[in-house]
Amino acid sequence: MRGVLRHITVALLVLSCSWTLLDGQSKGTFEVSHLSAISSGSADMAPVIMSDGILFCSNRKTNPFLTKKNLDGVRLFELWFAPFDGNGEPSSPRRFAPGLVNDANIGPASVTTDGNTLWFTRNLSEGRRLGRKQPNRLGIYTAKRSGSQWTDITPFEHNNPEYNLSYPYVSADGRYLFFCSDMPGGEGSYDIYMCENLEGQWSEPVNLGPEVNSSSAELHPFLHSSGRLYFASDRPGGKGGLDVWYSNLAYGSWTTPRALDEPVNSEADDFAFYAAQGGLQGYFTSNRRSFNDDIYSFSSTIIRWSACDTLQQNSYCYEFIEENALRQDTMKTGFRWEWDFGDGHRAVGITAEHCYAGPGVYDVTLDIVNLITGGIEKRQASYELEITDIEQPVITSPETVRAGETLILNAGATYLPGMNIERYYWNFGDETVATGLEVSKIYELPGKYNIQLIVSSKPDAGGVVREVCVCKDIEVSAK
Amino acid sequence: MKVTRKILPLFLFILYAVPAGMNAQEVPGPDENIPFLITFGKEGGVTSWGDDDFSQTFFFALPKDYKDPFYIRVYDPDTGGKTDELNNFWNTRMMYSIYGGKGCYTHEEANGISPTGNYKSGTLLATRTFGMDNKLDERWYTFGPFNPADGEYYPKFLSNIFKIVCDGISGDDGNLYRYAISRRPDANVPIDGANAFTYEYTFRMWNNNDTSFVSHIYPFIDSGCVYIQMRNFDWDDDGDFIVVSVERKGQVMPLSGDDVWETSRMPILEGEIGKSLDFRFYKKKGDLVRNNNVVISVQNQYGENLPFFSAPIGGVPVYKPRIKVVPKK
C-alpha cells in the first residue's frame, strides 16, 4: 500500500507496462537486471520503448542549479528518453519534450502504434496551488507529433477534477483505451477502466468489473496483442506490495487474475511492465533495491528450441509381404501362405498385417501349405524382426484438454538408451515451463499449443551435456 | 561321316538283363519320377489310349570331351508281358532307330513333335524292331557301342547329339519302356555331363490315387522367351498340373480331358530365363484313373518347341519365398 499511495499522491502514474507473456506457473523463467545506466538515485519508472530508445519518467534533478518542484516543494516528475546504444542497451537519458508541461507532474506515457500520438498523465492544473481542499488531480492528455515537436496538447474528454484518471494505454489497434481511476462506482480504491473508440469518440468509461478489479488498487493496465491484460495490484495473494498480475480475455470475459512469479514480483513494489516485441524481453519498475524506484530489464530464460523434432509415435504394426508371390498375385496358385509372427499369432495370405504388443525380437516364419496334397512346407522363409522404440523423449498425454482443466504430461516412456538423464524440461508453448518426469499444466485459453520436452543428460567425463527435444501439439478447447 | 561308316558295322546289339539302375542317366530321369515312357502301335490310329502320334523321339547329348564308347539301353523294349498295356491280344511291333551325324538333331523336322517328314533325319547308326518277347520283359536291351564322334556336334550344347526314335509300326498295344545311356553294355553307368531331352513327352502316370505321387518334367527356358504355350493331351482330368520355378511357387494350369488337347499360355518371369521350369503332375484323389498315358509339349511365343531335359538344366528349380517387412504407420 505504501507504493500505491506514493504513486497516487506524487501523481506519477506510470504507464502500465504490459507484459503478456509472463506467467505465474513456474519460477525462474526470466532473468532481471538493474538498469544502472539510466538510474539516477531518484525515482525512475515506467519505461516504454519508443522508436530507438526508452521513454520513462523520473523526478531526478534536471541540472545542478535548477530543480523543478511543485508548489508544495516536491520535486516534479518529467519524461526522459534514453536512446539505445549500439548494443541495444539504454544509454544516458535526456529530457523528453521539455515544453510539454510546466510546473506539474507529467508521468507515465505511452505512444500509439503509429508513433504519432503520445498519451500521458499529468496534473490537471499547471503551477497553481489549489489548496488542500482542492487537490490537483490527475488527468489524461494527448499530444501530437509535429516533426520533432509534440504539440496540440489535448485533455481527455472524461477527465474530471473530482477524481483521478491515469495510466493511459491504447491497444495496438487503437480501438481501446485502458486507464485507471478512483472515480465513484468502482470496486474500491483504483480500478481499471476501458473506453472504446467509436468513430473518433471515446465511449463512456467501463469498469472492467470484479473479474479484474478488487477492493485493492489496480494500476498500470497494459493489454498485450495476445489479449492478456497485465496490471499492478497490491491485492492479497501476491509477493508483497505491488505485484504484477494478469488476466486473459476469453469469450468476452476476463479470467481470474494470477500473479507473476519471482523474479519479476518480489516482496517490494513491482509494477509498470512493458514487454518488447515478442515478449521475451522488456522492462519493469521495482523498489526492491532501495526506497527509490528503479528500472529493471528482464529477459526470458525459457528454453525453446527453434528446431525440435515432432514426437513420433512408436508403431509396432507391420505389413509382411512375400515379395515373390506378390508379383504373381493374379495367378491361380495351389498353395497357401501361412505366417507365424513369432509371438503366438498367425495369419494367412501372401501379405499379412500384424501389430505386436511392444518391442522385442521376433522370429517371423513363413509356412507354405500345398493345397493339393495338404502338405505343409515349414519355415520356407524366415525373418528376424527386431522392434525397438524410437530413440526420443516421449510425451505421454491426452491430445486434447479443456481450458481450465489439469493436463498431466509424463515423460516416463522416454527411450534414450545410453543417456544418463538429469532433467526433463517442459515448455508448454505459452511461455511457461516446468521440470520433472511428470508435470501438470492448466491452459486458460483455448487454442493449439506446441509443447516441447527437452531432455538433458548429466555432463559426461568431458563435461558435455547432451540434449534432445521433441514436441507435440495439444488442442485446448473452450471450457 | 567316314568315321561313322567305319564304326557302324561294328555295332552289336547286345541284350543284357539287368535291373534298372537307379543311379544311371535314365529316361525318365530320377528327378522326373515318371514310371515309363509309352508308345502305342499305330494300327487303327486310336489316340484315346494316350498317344497322339504312336512315335516318340529322344535325344542324347554327350559332352564333346567324352570320347569313349557308350551304349544306349532300352528297358522292356518289347510289347507284351507285365509292364505293357494290352489291347485285346499282343500284336504290336516297336521299332527303335538310333541316329547320329549331321542333321540328326538340327534338321527342322527332327524334333519329333509330329513324326512326319524327315523326322528320322541324320545317319542311322542302329535299329531294331521288337514284337512280343518274354525274354525282354522287365529287362534291358543294349544298343552299341557307339562312338561319341558319330553324333551331331551342336555347339550351343557343347555336345554330340544322338537321336532315338521309337515307332509303333504295327498293332495297337501300348509299349512301356525306359532309356538309359551308359558307359557299359551290361549296366547303367552314367556318363558325366550327359543328358537326354525331348520335345514331346509321352509317358505313363502312376497307377494310384495318392497326391503324394508327383511326376515332373523340366522344360528349359531359353533367353528371349516371353511366354510359353503348353499343350497337353488325354490327361483324363487326372489330378492337377502346376508350374513351379525359382520365382513361381506354383501356378495352376489346366489339364486335358479324354482324347483331347488342352492349350494354355503362361508369361515367363525374368528370373526364369536360363533356367528350368518344373511341371508338376499330381494324381487325383478319390477315384483312381488307371493306366493314364499323357502327352505334353511346350512352345515359346515364336512357336519354337522347347526341350524337356531328363536332368533339369540348372537343377530342379526351387522356389524361394522372400519376406519383406514394412512398418505400418
Give mean pLDDT in consecutive 10-residue pieces for chain B, a chain of 329 residues. Answer: 28 28 68 96 94 96 96 96 92 97 95 90 97 92 96 95 97 97 95 95 90 91 95 92 92 94 94 95 88 95 95 92 92
Chain-chain contact of A368 with B249 (C-beta, under 8 angstroms): yes
Of B319, B325, B328, the CB nearest to A385: B325
Is the pLDDT at A8 greater than 60, yes or no? no
Cβ–Cβ pairs < 8 A, chains A and B: 89
By 3-state DSSP, what share of chain B in percent is helix, strand and coil, each rounded to 5?
Answer: 5, 40, 50
B253 to chain A nearest CA, in Å?
Answer: 8
Residues of B in contact with A355 (CB under 8 A): 328
Distances (CA, A) of A110 to A56, A113, A177, A457: 9, 9, 11, 46
Q: How confident is the model at residue A65 (pLDDT cuts 50, 70, 90)?
A: low
Chain-chain contact of B325 with A319 (C-beta, under 8 angstroms): yes
Bridge partners (DSSP) of residue B151 are none
Specify burial of residue A463 (Cβ count, 10 A radius: 0-12, 13-18, 19+). Answer: exposed
Q: How confident is the model at residue A10 (pLDDT cuts 50, 70, 90)?
A: very low
Check residue A445 and give its pLDDT.
87
Length of chain B as a residue count: 329
Bridge partners (DSSP) of residue B57 are B165
> What HEC string does A63-79 produce?
ECCECCECCCCCECCEE
CA distance A200 to A189: 30
The single residue listed with the C-alpha cell 525331348 is B198
* Residues 6 or more apart in contact with residue A277 via CB below 8 angstroms: none
Is the pLDDT at A296 greater than 80, yes or no? yes
Torsion angle of the four alpha carbons A222, A224, A228, A232, in this order, in degrees rounded to the nearest 10? -20
Is the pLDDT at A44 greater than 50, yes or no? yes
- B282: number of CA atoms within 13 Å, CB side? 24
For residue B71, give the 3-state DSSP assignment: strand
Chain-chain contact of B252 with A333 (C-beta, under 8 angstroms): yes
B48 to chain A nearest CA, in Å?
Answer: 27
Check residue B16 and give its pLDDT.
28
Return the domain boundaries, chain B. Answer: 2-204, 214-309
Distances (CA, A) of B32 to A143, B205, B209, B274, B315: 109, 11, 18, 19, 12
Check residue B183 and give its pLDDT.
96
Summarize pLDDT for A332-375 with one digit per residue, the tens: 788 999 999 999 999 999 999 999 999 999 999 999 999 988 99
Summarize pLDDT for A103-137 with one digit per residue, the tens: 788 889 999 988 999 999 999 887 655 555 678 89
Of B248, B322, B328, the CB nearest to A318: B328
Which DSSP state fits B286? S
Q: Which CATH number fits domain A2-300: 2.120.10.30, 3.90.230.10, 3.10.20.30, 3.65.10.10?
A: 2.120.10.30
- Judge whether B106 and B152 are in contact, CB under 8 Å: yes
Check residue A128 and give its pLDDT.
54
The predicted model scores a pTM of: 0.62
- Judge whether A222 and A178 are in contact, CB under 8 Å: yes
Bridge partners (DSSP) of residue A250 are A253
CA distance A263 to A28: 7
Is the pLDDT at A24 greater than 90, yes or no? no
Distances (CA, A) of B195 to B4, B101, B175, B312: 22, 18, 23, 9
Nearest residue to B158 (alpha-carbon basis) of B59, B25, B63, B222? B63
Pairing relation of β-strands A201-202 and A191-198? antiparallel
CA distance B268 to B262: 19
Check residue A226 and give its pLDDT.
67
Distances (CA, A) of A97 to A79, A94, A138, A149, A387: 7, 9, 19, 7, 72
CA distance B89 to B82: 13
Check residue B15 and give its pLDDT.
26
Check residue A222 and give its pLDDT.
87
Mean of pLDDT values over A44-70: 82
Check residue A148 and give its pLDDT.
86
- Judge whether B263 and B229 are in contact, CB under 8 Å: yes
Distances (CA, A) of A291 to A15, A240, A288, B102: 20, 15, 8, 125
Check residue A186 and give its pLDDT.
93
Check residue A224 and give its pLDDT.
76
Distances (CA, A) of B206 to A271, B150, B292: 104, 36, 8
Q: Do A315-387 and A390-477 fold alike per CATH? A: yes
Is the pLDDT at A300 greater than 50, yes or no? yes
Check residue A127 and give its pLDDT.
67
Q: How confident is the model at residue A13 (pLDDT cuts 50, 70, 90)?
A: very low
Is the pLDDT at A43 greater than 60, yes or no? yes
Check residue A16 and give its pLDDT.
26
Check residue B191 and give its pLDDT.
95
Check residue A39 and give its pLDDT.
86
B22 to chain A nearest CA, in Å?
Answer: 26
Which CATH topology does A390-477 take? Immunoglobulin-like (2.60.40)
ipTM of the complex: 0.80
CA distance B252 to A334: 6
For residue B59, give the 3-state DSSP assignment: strand
Check residue A291 and give its pLDDT.
84
A438 to chain B nearest CA, in Å?
Answer: 27
Summarize pLDDT for A316-337 with one digit per residue, the tens: 999 999 998 888 766 678 899 9
CA distance B213 to B278: 15
Is the pLDDT at A407 greater than 50, yes or no? yes
Pairing relation of β-strands A206-207 and A218-223? unpaired
CA distance A364 to A349: 14
Grid cell at residue B40:
502305342
Summarize pLDDT for A129-169 with one digit per residue, the tens: 555 567 889 999 999 999 889 999 999 999 999 999 999 99
Is the pLDDT at A98 greater than 90, yes or no? no
Q: Which CATH number fits domain A315-387: 3.30.379.10, 2.40.50.140, 3.40.50.1820, 2.60.40.10?
A: 2.60.40.10
Which CATH topology does B2-204 take? Jelly Rolls (2.60.120)
Chain-chain contact of A328 with B329 (C-beta, under 8 angstroms): no
Return the domain boundaries, chain A. Answer: 2-300, 315-387, 390-477
> What is the residue-wise DSSP string for B176-227?
EEEEEEESSSSS----TT-EEEESEEEEEPPSS--TT-EEEE-BB--TT--E
Check residue A330 and give its pLDDT.
66
Nearest residue to B193 (alpha-carbon basis) of B57, B68, B64? B64
Length of chain A as a residue count: 479
The single residue listed with the C-alpha cell 546504444 is A85
Chain-chain contact of A323 with B329 (C-beta, under 8 angstroms): no
Chain-chain contact of B282 with A322 (C-beta, under 8 angstroms): no
| Element of type H or E holding B3 | helix B2-7
Check residue B112 and give its pLDDT.
73
Check residue A223 and give its pLDDT.
83
Check residue B8 and give its pLDDT.
28
Q: What residue of B is the nearest CA neighbor of A335?
A: B250
> How much is the mean pLDDT over chain A?
87
Residues of B in contact with A373 (CB under 8 A): 211-212, 282
